[in-house]
């Protein structure tokens, strides 16, 4: 992350400058240490040199005097003249030493020493020695000895003692100087170590501060990173939300520049660019790009301009987009932050479907009104002629017949129209029962044959019992419409062949005619409302135009299908298919009156009063009945009881098992699975019941005698236990 | 005797109009759609065309346009029959070149009056 790098960079910069500062401090310390050491050394060595020189000179003065003394004594003892001259020459030498010494005098002790030495020189060389020499040369050695024994010796001794003291003082001073020098050096060194320590401590402290700072920065940068991630996540969530919305959304600022756009809008206008490059386009730019794909670009663009300029109300505009053709409604509204307008949101919604539905609706209404007006026009027109004209009886007859037929047509139209409305709205209720398609077809063919003498209608039944679950009246309507169409659309007569057969798990009915056939272009629209084929012979074939639409709706409601094959000019085949009901359907012979020969029936029914009613009814027919309120209790004893039949309720209140699970349990067990089960339920779930292996399914409320009859029928057919039973009165013979 | 050409796809309505007008001593030729009407129009000379609006193939409107744009008898009087009830639809029909408009369902007696008025027979 960039932010982190930045912080790390500045931190290392700080650290580097700190190191430079430390090195500078260290160098300054080291240099000043060196300088002070040097300075101390210089100071002390001057002092020591001076002291040493003083000490040397004093020693030499002392030695010179001592030499003079011993030479004088040697002269007095041996009379050696050289010695005398040497002794006397010492005076000069001592004087020169005195001059040298005086140059380096610095203390009062030095002054006293030199003063005493000069006094002694005066005394010795000016007085004592010459006197002694003259006594000696005059031949008075006793006088020399006397002289030596008197004050002279005392003076010499005194001087010698004094100078020795002085010299030893100097030595002591020297030693003290040396000691001081060492002491000072030690101080400086200790100071330096202290300085280094302080620098190190400071460095340590600052490093610690820096490290803390770094930690802080690090945690801050982590925080920043988290913040960044969070805001990034929010941003992409917002974009995802925008992209998930079905409408195309465009947000522009007050200057008309695109601020935000979603994927749908980009797709809508086939912008190949990515979102990032579209954001930032100015008003002219994007409006002209969009307008180029719109049917009426001028008004589209001027709407967009106005919408973005306008301060107050929202506005809506509907435009047609080209390639692909879409009808789009754009909705503009200001985007406000608190009270300030910050931009405009444009929502583009594809209303093509709604628009088409609207168009279809108004088309439908105008078609219906046209279809209703046509028979009305005939009825009104002929009635007016009948009322206002003297007409011959045959013309009157013709007009009345026409009026009657047109009124019937109007009724049929209204009925069909209401039917299709109800079916399409899903409000048509179907009373589905087991019905035999063959019987229905027979009935429809019989009634349709009355209308034609030119058509041969035949039924070929290749099915093995074409039973389906369906609403008899509605299925009749399907085949009436289809066969009626076959008759109408083969105006020159011909064969109409109806074929009934099974294929895989479905039952099929083909209705084949030798009529006009259907042009290729009309096949798609054939089942639409009010669609009529534009026939080559231009004859208007009567009808409501809703027949096939109704057929399709009814077939849909029966999980069926209807489709058409046709050769234009040589006929059509309409095919209906229905789901085949599982299990072999068997029509049963009417039940002969008989008594149950002590068959055992187990009844599971949670409604106690209904349970009693069933029990009593069955007992009256000589069944042995064991009644259970709870399914669990029934299952507990069923293996011992081994009933001949079971009557089972599906919805069992306050029971953990329902009828379905009890049934599954029974069908799982080898010794129980062949016991016929009669479902007695308020639920109409016959298909489910039969697929789970029910023998019969009675929907409450039913007459208890019906149940008794059904059980009897099944049990009397020994060896056929477990097969599906169809109640006699539902087979369509009535 | 004035000749009238009627184009109407509904057989019953055709019968009603033909009966009505023939009683008034007009000669009426029938066509079941626009195309048939145009063929008859090219072959014969008519004083009036009565056209249904909604017909398979060419609609009444298309027949008017073709007649008005044609070389022969393009000034023939035209009466349009339609279930269209809205004013703008009727105006459009007149703007295309129909002389009169009559809404379905119509009164046969009124039709006679209209036809007479168009043909200046009062
Ligand atoms: Mg029509």
What pLDDT is stored for residue B29 in this prediction? 96
A340-350/A326-337 β-pairing: antiparallel
Neighboring chain A residues of B36 at a CB cutoff of 8 Å: 538
Angle at A583 between CA A581 and CA A586, to 5 degrees: 95
**β partners of residue A349:** A329
Whether pLDDT at A123 is above 90? no
Q: Is the backbone peptide bond immediately before B105 cis, with ω within 30 degrees of 0?
A: yes
Search chain B and give the residue with CA nearest A379: B105
A324: cis peptide before it, omega within 30°? yes
Closest residue of chain B to A385, computed from CA coordinates: B108
Q: Does domain A429-582 have CATH number 3.30.2270.10?
A: no
Q: How confident is the model at residue A403 (pLDDT cuts 50, 70, 90)?
A: very high
Would you say residue A358 has pLDDT above 70? Answer: yes
Task: Give the span between the Cα atoms of A99 and A121, in whole angstroms.
Answer: 13
Output the pLDDT for position A596: 54
Q: Would the pTM count as exceeding 0.80?
A: no
Please give the average per-residue pLDDT across A198-206, as a whole number.
86
Q: For residues A448 and A480, what is the distance between their CA atoms, to the nearest angstrom? A: 7
| Interface contact flag, B54 A370, Cβ < 8 Å | yes
CA A293 – ligand 1 centroid, Å = 39
> Cβ of A111: how many Cβ atoms within 10 Å?
12
pLDDT of residue B15: 94
DSSP track, A280-302: T--HHHHHHHHHTTBSSHHHHHH
Residue A587 in this model has a pLDDT that exceeds 80:
no
Instruction: Supply angle C-alpha A313, A318, A322, rounded to 5.
Output: 145
pLDDT in tens, A336-349: 888 888 888 999 99
Q: How many Å lie between the centroid of ligand 1 and the Cα of residue B10? A: 6
Name the nearest CA neighbour of A507 among A515, A499, A518: A499
Contact call for A380 and B105, based on CB within 8 A: yes
Which CA distances in Å does A342 have to A255, A309, A335? Answer: 10, 12, 6
Q: Which of A466, A538, A455, A542 is nearest to A499 (CA)?
A: A466
Cα distances (Å, whole numbers) of residue A521 to A380, A567, A574: 37, 12, 17
Write down how long chain A is. Answer: 734
| pLDDT beyond 90 at A287 | no
- In eight-state DSSP terms, residue A527 is G
Lowest mean pLDDT among A239-243, A325-329, A705-709: A705-709
Residue A130, pLDDT score: 85
Contact A538 B83 (CB under 8 A): no
Q: Are A488 and A574 in contact (CB under 8 A)?
A: no
* A3-20 CB burial, b ≥16 within 10 A, e <16: eeeebeeebeeeeeebee
Both tokens assigned to A375: 């028979």
Specify the pLDDT at position B108: 94
Whether the CB of B89 is below 8 Å from some CB of chain A: the reply is no
Cα–Cα distance for residue pair A504/A134, rounded to 1 Å: 178
Under 8 Å between Cβ of A711 and A721: no
**Of the options 3.10.450.40, 3.40.50.300, 3.40.640.10, 3.40.50.2300, the CATH number for the domain spanning B3-117:** 3.40.50.2300
Domain A245-350: assigned CATH number: 3.30.450.20
Q: Using CA atoms, how far apart are residues A591 and A719, in angstroms rounded to an integer?
A: 17
- Quick check: A539 contacting B, CB < 8 Å? yes
Query: pLDDT-based confidence at A724, cuts 50/70/90?
Result: very low
Helices within A138-152 (DSSP H only): 141-147
Instruction: Count other C-beta atoms under 10 Å from residue A204's C-beta.
Output: 10
| Residue B81, strand partner residues | B52, B102
- Say if residues A437 and A508 touch (Cβ distance below 8 Å): no
| Contact status, residue A676 vs residue A695, Cβ threshold 8 Å | yes
Q: In this complex, is the C-beta atom of B71 within 8 Å of any C-beta atom belonging to chain A?
A: no
How close B3 gets to chain A, by Cα (Å)?
22
CATH architecture of A356-423: Orthogonal Bundle (1.10)
Considering chain A, what is the average pLDDT of its residues?
83
CB distance A89 to A70 below 8 Å: no
Contact A229, A222 (CB under 8 A): no
Note whether A725 and A713 are within 8 A (CB): yes
Closest residue on chain A to B56 (Cα): A534
Mean pLDDT of A504-513: 92
Q: Confidence band (pLDDT; 50, 70, 90) for B27? A: very high
What is the distance in angstroms between the Cα of B14 and the nearest Cα belonging to chain A? 9
Give contacts of A402 with chain B, Cβ < 8 Å.
12, 15
Residue of chain A whose alpha carbon sits nearest to that of B35: A538
Torsion region of B97: left, alpha or beta (phi above 0 gives left; psi -120 to 50 gives alpha) = left
Residue A300 CA to ligand 1 center (angstroms) comes to 39
Domain ranges of chain B: 3-117
Q: Which of A362, A375, A381 to substitute to test the interface with B, most B CBs within 10 Å?
A: A381
Tell me: pLDDT of A590 over 50. Answer: no
| Distance in angstroms (rounded) separating the CA atoms of residues A380 and A136 | 202
Cβ atoms of A322 and A294 closer than 8 Å: yes
Q: How far apart are CA A140 and CA A135, in angstroms?
A: 5
Nearest CB among B54, B56, B108 relative to A534 is that of B56
| pLDDT at residue A539 is higher than 80 | no
Q: Is the pLDDT of residue A151 over 50?
A: yes
Long-range contacts of A704-708 (CB under 8 A, 24+ apart): A704/A613, A704/A614, A704/A616, A704/A617, A704/A618, A705/A617, A707/A614, A707/A617, A707/A618, A707/A647, A707/A678, A707/A680, A708/A617, A708/A618, A708/A620, A708/A621, A708/A623
| pLDDT band for position A479 (cuts 50, 70, 90) | very high
Percent of chain A whose predicted confidence (pLDDT) is above 90: 19
Residues 6+ apart with CB under 8 A from A236: none
pLDDT in tens, A512-532: 999 988 888 888 888 887 777
Contacts of residue A630, defined as CB under 8 A and 6 or more positions apart, other chains included, come to A604, A606, A652, A655
Give per-residue pLDDT as tens, B48-80. Answer: 999 998 888 888 999 999 999 988 888 899 999
The tens digit of pLDDT for each residue in A27-83 reads: 888 888 888 888 878 888 888 888 888 888 888 888 888 888 888 888 888 888 888
Other beta carbons less than 10 A from residue B122's beta carbon: 6
Q: Please list every residue in chain A whose beta carbon sits closer than 8 Å to the beta carbon of residue B83.
A: 369-370, 373-374
Q: Give B-chain residues touching A395 at CB under 8 angstroms.
A: 19
Q: What is the pLDDT of residue A277?
A: 79
User: How confident is the model at residue A542, as a pLDDT?
Assistant: 66
Report percent pLDDT > 70 for chain A. 91
Q: What is the DSSP letter of A128?
A: I
Beta carbons within 8 Å of A394's beta carbon, 6+ residues apart:
none
Question: Of residues A656 and A132, which shows the higher confidence score?
Answer: A132
**Residue B112 scores a pLDDT above 50:** yes
Give exposure, A118-150, as e/b (b: 16+ Cβ within 10 Å).
Answer: eebbebbbeebbeebbebbeeeeeeebeebbee
Q: Is any Cβ of chain B less than 8 angstroms from the Cβ of A373? A: yes
> How much is the average pLDDT of A391-413?
92
Task: For residue A662, give the nearest of A719, A605, A720, A610 by alpha carbon.
Answer: A605
- What phi and psi, each to the nearest 5 degrees, are found at residue B99? -85, -30
- When pLDDT is cut at 50, 70 and 90, the band that residue A148 belongs to is confident
pLDDT at A719 over 70: no
Does the pLDDT of residue A217 top 80, yes or no? yes
For domain A2-217, the question of CATH label 1.20.120.1730 is answered with yes
Question: Cα of A732 to ligand 1 centre, how many Å?
Answer: 43
Q: Per CATH, is A591-733 categorized as 3.40.50.2300?
A: yes
Put simply, the answer to whether A381 touches B13 (Cβ < 8 Å) is: yes
Which pLDDT score, from 0 to 100, does residue A2 have? 54
pLDDT of residue A594: 43
ipTM for the predicted complex comes to 0.93
Of the pLDDT bands very low, low, confident and very high (cuts 50, 70, 90), residue A595 is: very low
Euclidean distance between CA atoms A273 and A397, whole angstroms: 77
Residue pair A504/A463 in contact by the 8 Å Cβ criterion = no
Of the pLDDT bands very low, low, confident and very high (cuts 50, 70, 90), residue A157 is: confident
In this structure, are residues A448 and A485 in contact, taking their beta carbons and an 8 Å threshold?
Answer: no
Predicted confidence band of residue A351 (pLDDT cuts 50, 70, 90): very high
CB atoms within 10 A of CB A23: 11
- Asked whether the beta carbons of A170 and A101 are under 8 A apart, the reply is no
List, for residues A448-471, the tens digit of each pLDDT value. 988 888 899 999 999 877 888 888
The domain segmentation of chain A, as residue ranges, is 2-217, 245-350, 356-423, 429-582, 591-733
* H or E segment and range at residue B66: helix B60-69
Q: Of A389, A406, A538, which has the smallest distance from its Cβ to B36's Cβ?
A: A538
How much is the pLDDT for A5?
59
The residue-averaged pLDDT of A11-31 equals 82
- pLDDT over 60 (residue A593): no
B12 in contact with A at a CB cutoff of 8 Å?
A: yes
Mean pLDDT confidence for B1-8: 94
Cis peptide preceding B118, ω within 30 of 0? no
Report which secondary-structure segment, H or E, holds A103.
helix A81-103
Contact B19 A373 (CB under 8 A): no
Confidence of residue A8 (pLDDT cuts 50, 70, 90): low
Locate tokens 């408009």: which residue?
Answer: B101
Copy the structure tokens of residue A637.
């004893």
């Amino acid at each position: 992350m960039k932010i982190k790098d930045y912080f790390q960079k500045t931190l290392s910069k700080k650290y580097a400058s700190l190191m430079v500062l430390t090195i500078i401090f260290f160098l300054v310390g080291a240099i000043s240490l060196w300088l002070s050491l040097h300075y101390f050394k210089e100071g002390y060595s001057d002092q020591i040199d001076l002291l040493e020189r003083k000490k040397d000179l004093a020693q030499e003065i002392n030695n010179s005097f001592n030499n003079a003394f011993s030479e004088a004594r040697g002269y007095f003892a041996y009379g050696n003249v050289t010695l005398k001259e040497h002794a006397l020459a010492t005076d000069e030498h001592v004087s020169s030493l005195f001059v040298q010494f005086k140059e380096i005098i610095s203390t009062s002790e030095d002054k006293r020493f030199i003063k005493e030495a000069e006094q002694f020189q005066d005394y010795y060389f000016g007085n004592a020695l010459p006197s002694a020499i003259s006594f000696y040369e005059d031949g008075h050695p006793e006088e020399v000895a006397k002289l030596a024994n008197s004050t002279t010796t005392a003076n010499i001794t005194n001087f010698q003692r004094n100078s020795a003291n002085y010299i030893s003082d100097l030595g002591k001073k020297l030693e003290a100087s040396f000691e001081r020098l060492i002491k000072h050096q030690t101080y400086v060194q200790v100071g330096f170590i202290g300085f280094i320590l302080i620098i190190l401590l400071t460095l340590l402290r600052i490093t610690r501060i820096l490290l803390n700072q770094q930690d802080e920065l690090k945690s801050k940068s982590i925080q920043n990173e988290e913040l960044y991630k969070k805001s990034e996540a929010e941003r992409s969530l917002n974009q995802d939300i925008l992209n998930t919305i079905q409408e195309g959304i465009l947000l522009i600022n007050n200057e008309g520049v695109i601020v935000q756009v979603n994927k749908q809008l980009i797709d809508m206008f086939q912008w190949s660019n990515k979102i990032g490059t579209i954001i930032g386009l100015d008003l002219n730019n994007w409006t002209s790009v969009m307008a180029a794909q719109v049917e009426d670009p001028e008004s589209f663009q001027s709407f967009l301009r106005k919408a973005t300029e306008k301060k107050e109300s929202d506005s809506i505009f509907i435009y047609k987009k080209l390639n692909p053709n879409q009808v789009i409604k754009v909705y503009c509204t200001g985007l406000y932050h608190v009270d300030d307008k910050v931009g405009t949101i444009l929502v583009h919604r594809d209303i093509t479907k709604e628009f088409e539905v609207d168009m279809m609706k108004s088309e439908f209404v105008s078609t219906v009104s046209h279809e209703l007006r046509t028979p009305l026009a005939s009825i009104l027109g002929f009635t007016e002629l009948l009322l206002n004209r003297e007409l011959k009886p045959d013309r009157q007859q013709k007009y009345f017949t026409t009026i009657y037929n047109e009124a019937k047509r109007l009724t049929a139209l209204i009925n069909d129209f209401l039917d299709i409305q109800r079916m399409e709205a899903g409000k048509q209720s179907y009373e589905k029962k087991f019905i035999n398609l063959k019987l229905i077809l027979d009935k429809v063919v019989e009634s349709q044959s009355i209308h034609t003498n030119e058509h041969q209608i035949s039924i070929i039944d290749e099915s093995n019992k074409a039973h389906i679950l369906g609403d008899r009246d509605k299925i009749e309507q399907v085949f009436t419409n289809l066969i009626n169409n076959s008759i109408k659309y083969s105006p020159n007569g011909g064969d109409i062949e109806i074929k009934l057969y099974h294929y895989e798990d479905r039952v099929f009915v083909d209705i084949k005619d030798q009529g006009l056939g259907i042009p290729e272009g009309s096949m798609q629209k054939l089942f639409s409302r009010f669609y009529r084929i534009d026939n080559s012979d231009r004859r208007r074939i009567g009808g409501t135009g809703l027949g096939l639409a109704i057929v399709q709706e009814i077939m849909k409601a029966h999980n069926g299908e209807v489709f058409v094959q046709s050769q234009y000019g040589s006929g059509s085949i309409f095919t209906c298919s229905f789901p085949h009901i599982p299990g072999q359907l068997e029509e049963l012979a009417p039940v002969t009156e008989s008594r149950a020969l002590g068959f055992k029936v187990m009844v599971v029914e949670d409604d106690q009063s209904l349970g009693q009613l069933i029990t009593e009814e069955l007992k009256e027919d000589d069944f042995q009945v064991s009644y259970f309120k709870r399914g669990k209790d029934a299952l507990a004893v069923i293996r011992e009881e081994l009933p001949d039949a079971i009557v089972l309720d599906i919805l069992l209140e306050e029971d953990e098992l329902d009828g379905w699970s009890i049934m599954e349990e029974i069908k799982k067990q080898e010794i129980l699975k062949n016991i016929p089960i009669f479902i007695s339920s308020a639920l109409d779930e016959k298909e489910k019941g039969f697929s789970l292996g029910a023998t019969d399914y009675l929907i409450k409320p039913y007459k208890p005698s019906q149940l008794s009859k059904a059980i009897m029928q099944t049990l009397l057919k020994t060896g056929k236990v477990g097969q599906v039973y169809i109640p006699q009165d539902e087979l369509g013979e009535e | 005797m004035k000749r009238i050409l009627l184009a109407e796809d509904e057989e019953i309505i055709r019968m009603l109009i033909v009966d009505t007008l023939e009683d008034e001593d007009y000669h009426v030729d029938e066509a079941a759609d626009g195309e048939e009407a145009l063929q008859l129009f090219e072959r014969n000379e008519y004083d009036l065309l009565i056209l249904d609006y909604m017909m398979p193939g060419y609609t009444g409107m298309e027949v008017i346009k073709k007649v008005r744009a044609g070389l022969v008898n393009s000034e023939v009087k035209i009466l349009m029959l339609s279930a269209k009830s809205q004013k703008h639809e009727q105006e459009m029909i007149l703007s295309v070149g129909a002389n009169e408009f009559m809404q379905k369902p119509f009164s046969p007696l009124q039709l006679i009056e209209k036809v007479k008025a168009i043909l200046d027979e009062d």
